A and B are shown apart, each in its own frame.
Chain A
Amino acid sequence: MRIRVPFSASIAMAFGLLVLVGYFVDLPLLKALHQVFLQWAIILAAIALLVGVINLFSVHWRKALSGGKGSVYSALLVLALVVTLLVAGYSGPTGQWSMWLFNYIQVPVESSLMAILTVVLALAGMRLFRRRLNLFSVVFLISALIMLIGAAPVFGITIPGLHGPDGLRAVLAQIPVVAGARGVLLGVALGTVATALRLLMGIDRPYGG
């Protein structure tokens, strides 16, 4: 039976209001309800993660059996998932074999991807003026160079006025960067409040309907 949209919306709004009131009103009942709802959310999120893993497995299982393009990668993913589950189930999440898989497979693979990103970013910095040459690109590249140079000694040499707590890099990081970051954080906060109000008023219904 399909739940009607106003009914589900009213449930979502009621739960949201109860949790919100629990932040401002110091009542034992509200706090208890608040904690219960939070625990329900945590459990649902954990189940959603499990469902996601199952869905990932089923999708790639079918794709591996289909024998189409990319089926080899799907088969590899399914194999890795099964092996990891077996190893973690046998030795525990932080057991010896589980940590071996983590230290010698997962960490190197992901670190390699980040290393590729390093090369790509360096190449992009080199070709920035080739793609676009205007005032903002010049300012962007100079700022990036100042932050890079100030992050570490250049060929083992520290530059006075650039490195150190009072250097140009620190000044840029503490004044203009913080100013911009505060503006971003204020905007995020206002946006969060507006989104919360829209959710509580039922205008936005990400839960369906």
Chain B
Amino acid sequence: MTMVEVRCPMCGKPNPAENEVCQFCQARIKPLIIQPPSDDATAERSNISPDTPRLGKSSKDEPQAPDWLQPDWLQSLRQEEGLSEFSESQAREWDENGAAEPGWTDASAENEAVPEWLKRVRQRRSAEEAIESEPPEEGPDFMDQLRAQRYLGETEPLPGIPSEGEPALPSWLAGLGAESDQENPPPLPEWLKSEEVVDISQETTRPVSPAAEPFPEEEGIPDWLKVLQEKSAVDEGVFPVAPQVVEEEPQEAHIEEEAPPLEEPRIVAPFTFDEETAELLGEDLEALPDWLKETQPGEVEEEAPEPPAGVDLAPGSLPTWLEMMRPVEAAAPSAPQLDERERLVEGSGPLAGLRGVLPAEAEVSGVKKPPAFAVKLQVSESQQLHASLLSDLLKAEGVVPPLPARRVVSAQNLLRPLVFIALLIPIVWQLAYGGIASPTLAPSAEIIDTRNVVNALSGGEPVLIAVDYEPGLSGEMDAAAASVLDHLMLKGAYLTLVSTVPTGPAQAERLVRMVSERGGHRYQSLDQYTNLGYIPGGISGLRGFAEAPQQVVPYALDGGSIWTSGKLSGVHKLSDFALTLVITESPESARAWIEQVRPGLGDRPLLMVVSAQAEPQVRPYYEGHPSQVQGVVIGLAGGVSYEALPRNNPGRQYWDAYSLGLSAAIVLIILGGLINLVAFSASSARQPLPKGVEA
């Protein structure tokens, strides 16, 4: 025996019929049963007789007229198969008992009154029952599945179909039907009773056509139904008829014999019933809801009054703005368009003069050469000009403009060597031959102060010298510092060298050796000077050295412990040095020494030898009151001016060449400036000044 299976609506896999959810995708197979909202409705549902009309199986998506639009006989057609069987058995019971219903013929005369089509329906039904009672034959799987679906459709409620015992109708209507069935069984006609046995759920979905299925005879219709039909006829045209569809057979659409055409269903106005309907309802009228009871018997919704003939009603005038927003009307032609052939009038032959007939001549004969249209665009001259400009722009996008050829010999390439030669020749000539002896400048106040401070030193006092300049500026700084350093050596000061520049220790060593050698001082390391080396950390290192020099620089550059023995054994802080001399070319370095070290010097003097570029930064500290710097020697000129008597220092050696080279540079700048000024003025006279250049 083939196991009844149900295919999952989601994944399509077969499942046992008793499963509520799919065993593969867990989708629900059996629909959830919607419980009645209240207990009263349940109680009323229990009183429903088996022949209570219920809603037939219908798809949720199918449009269906509401219950109030459907007469009882139509609702009976939508009963499920089980109900149909019940109605069939009841019909048989009626046949056997010969129950005489009002308006119905007796049992003996019924067979004679049964029409032929009804007899065929009954025969087919009995044949189906015989087939179903037979054991299923082994067949293809799809046939088994179709059978299973059929059986399931008979036993299992499909989604959207209320199962037995559920209120398919409102409670008041269900109770009404039950009582009316018990007390006054519905006087269904014979043809309708036989129609109940038809499994309407298996029929193909199609709109109910009244012409195709008219009611066979009108004599079988009870009076109350006639009344309703009359009412429906009255209300027809007021209420639209919803398209009626019946169930579509899912797979095995067994061919139904053509049933007699049903009569067009009458549409009854909703919530309106006349006195006869009220009498039929009887006591059930009290059970009607209030909103329905408010509709008095006989109160029929009136149709819209037709305008009296001959009265020309003015159409509703729309505002102008709304009239202009009617694209459909504006675009649609006022007159219906006719087909091209409809407009053609036959001009020859026997059909001459007729319109819309087949042409006598073949269309091929009418084919002619199509008209030639000009390919050239109709564009104006300005459009052509713009198009050409755009085309040129687009072409220029992809073309890399060639770089101008770099001239090997240009004015600038010639000018640079010329300037170099113009500066080099006088310097070399002066150094080689000493042609021009430039007089030394009179010492300025800061130089005199520096000299006085050095002169105030006693022999052998420790002096701290910071050498903070790069080797690249050693030409200027060596010449500027040499005279001061020579003066200190002349005074016999013990030089303590330190630097905050990584190359400073070597620079300090070089400076001391040079001055000692030139001045003939014979300064030796550890005896006359010591090199403490490099102080890392920038300003922080400088501050730490100013507060605790022994901790920051505990050893000399050669590894000797200079703080415990020798000339520096009595030095514990910077104020123990008799003098502090800072030699730097950097304004920042000079400012750092002034700001970080000067407070730790106490009343000890701070002297500086700076380059010409650092003068503006240092001079304010010198000119302040009290001055932070007691003496300043600025640049080569300051170093030369520092010497009261000519000494063999590099400053004096450089001074003449420096003066001559500086003079050459001044001449070059003046000449070049004048030439360019004239050239610029001439070019400005020829053409207006470019944007951004001020006169």
A60 to chain B, nearest CB (A): 18
Assess whether A119 is in contact with B416, with CB atoms less than 8 Å apart: yes
Question: Which of A130, A132, A185 sits near B620, CB closer than 8 Å?
Answer: A185
Give the interface residue-count category, chain A. 35 or more
Q: Does A203 contact B (CB under 8 A)?
A: no
Assess whether B665 is in contact with A93, with CB atoms less than 8 Å apart: no
Q: Does B540 contact A (CB under 8 A)?
A: yes
B186 to chain A, nearest CB (A): 87
Question: Which of A102, A151, A158 sits near B506, CB closer than 8 Å?
Answer: A102
Q: Does B662 contact A (CB under 8 A)?
A: yes
Assess whether A42 is in contact with B506, with CB atoms less than 8 Å apart: no
Stretch at the interface among A1-9, A62-70, A72-80, A110-118: A110-118
> Which residues on the A side are within 8 Å of B547 (C-beta)?
34-35, 38
Assess whether B676 is in contact with A42, with CB atoms less than 8 Å apart: no
A156-B439, A163-B441 known; A98-B506 Cβ under 8 A: yes
A189 to chain B, nearest CB (A): 9
CA distance A128 to B659 in the complex (A): 23
With CB as the reference atom, state the residue of chain B lying closest to A183: B620
CA distance A149 to B680 in the complex (A): 26
Assess whether A145 is in contact with B672, with CB atoms less than 8 Å apart: no
Q: Does B113 contact A (CB under 8 A)?
A: no
B325 to chain A, nearest CB (A): 62
Assess whether A45 is in contact with B541, with CB atoms less than 8 Å apart: yes
Assess whether B541 is in contact with A155, with CB atoms less than 8 Å apart: no
CA distance A34 to B544 in the complex (A): 9
With CB as the reference atom, state the residue of chain A lying closest to B422: A122
Give the residues from 651 to 695 in chain B that come closer than 8 angstroms, CB to CB, to chain A. Answer: 655-656, 658-660, 662-663, 665-666, 668-673, 675-677, 679-680, 693-695
> Which residues on the A side are within 8 Å of B32 (C-beta)?
none
> Which residues on the B side are within 8 Å of A129 (C-beta)?
673, 676-677, 680
With CB as the reference atom, state the residue of chain A lying closest to B545: A42
Assess whether B677 is in contact with A133, with CB atoms less than 8 Å apart: yes
With CB as the reference atom, state the residue of chain B lying closest to A92: B558
With CB as the reference atom, state the residue of chain A lying closest to B509: A94
A133-B680, A164-B441 known; A35-B503 Cβ under 8 A: no
> Which residues on the A side are within 8 Å of B672 (C-beta)?
123, 125-127
Assess whether A130 is in contact with B680, with CB atoms less than 8 Å apart: yes
Question: Which of B472, B525, B543 sits near A38, CB closer than 8 Å?
Answer: B543
CA distance A122 to B670 in the complex (A): 10
Can you pick out 14 interface pairs between chain A and chain B where the beta carbons lie within 8 Å of each other?
A: A35-B548, A38-B541, A44-B537, A92-B557, A93-B557, A94-B531, A107-B472, A111-B471, A144-B669, A148-B665, A152-B438, A152-B441, A152-B636, A178-B616
CB within 8 Å of B: which residues of A?
Answer: 34-35, 38-39, 41-42, 44-46, 49, 92-94, 98-99, 102-103, 106-107, 110-111, 113-114, 118-119, 122-123, 125-130, 132-135, 141, 144-145, 148-149, 151-156, 158, 163-165, 170, 173-174, 177-178, 180-182, 184-185
